Amino acid sequence: MYPFGRLAWHRWQARRAPPLGPFDLHHITTRIMPWDIDPFGELNNGRTLTLYDLGRLALFDRMGLEARIVARGWRPTIAGISVRYRRRITVFDTLQMASRVIGWDARFFYMDQSLWRAGECCNQILARAAFTTGVGIVPTDEVAQTAGWQVSAPPLPDWVRAWSQAEGQRPWPPEAGAPIDARPPPHRRP
């Protein structure tokens, strides 16, 4: 189940914190609970991504995006994530999450998020996100202007550009062997 209680808590805190600019760092603290772990006693991979959702949404609140962007009917969506795991995270660990926007290109915002325990990085993600309407992706310059950001997009770091270019070469739909026929089998009479 999605952690709506945690989400509400982090967003409540973010709305009472000082506003952030487009490249400022946002921190939250969270504790790993028994429902966050997998059968091997460590933080579940899917829950890891959900926790990063909480940090991103709180970051957006502090940047003022909720009031300016979502009010226009634009919705944030994740268009890709790359995860790097380095340390086990177990039940009742207290973690600090750092979230920031690295920059953007014409379509996507790129964000760096990481989970830390006692000063050591346990895992990190690179995410690209877009704001969408019913007809497609809103150009990032329009989002930045609506957010009131008086800055241009800085050049993306080489490692971010390389990841984005690699994603552009990835086949879609996936080439996972022979195509799977999604149609139900024909009804056969005995």
Which pair of tokens denotes residue 136?
């497609």
The pLDDT score that the predictor gives to residue 180 is 56
Residue-wise DSSP of 131-145: EEETTEEPPHHHHHH
Task: Please provide the average confidence, as pLDDT, over all residues in the chain.
Answer: 90
Q: How far apart are CA 30 and CA 10, in angstroms?
A: 9
pLDDT for residue 27 is more than 80: yes
- 93 backbone dihedrals φ, ψ, rounded to 5°: -65, 140
Spell out the domains of the chain, with CATH numbers in brackets: 4-169 (3.10.129.10)
Q: How far apart are CA 84 and CA 29, in angstroms?
A: 20
Contact 156, 110 (CB under 8 A): yes
Tell me the C-alpha to C-alpha distance, in Å, between residue 83 and each of 115, 118, 130, 132. Answer: 11, 20, 18, 24
Q: What's the pTM value of the predicted model, to 2 decimals?
A: 0.87
pLDDT for residue 11 is more than 70: yes
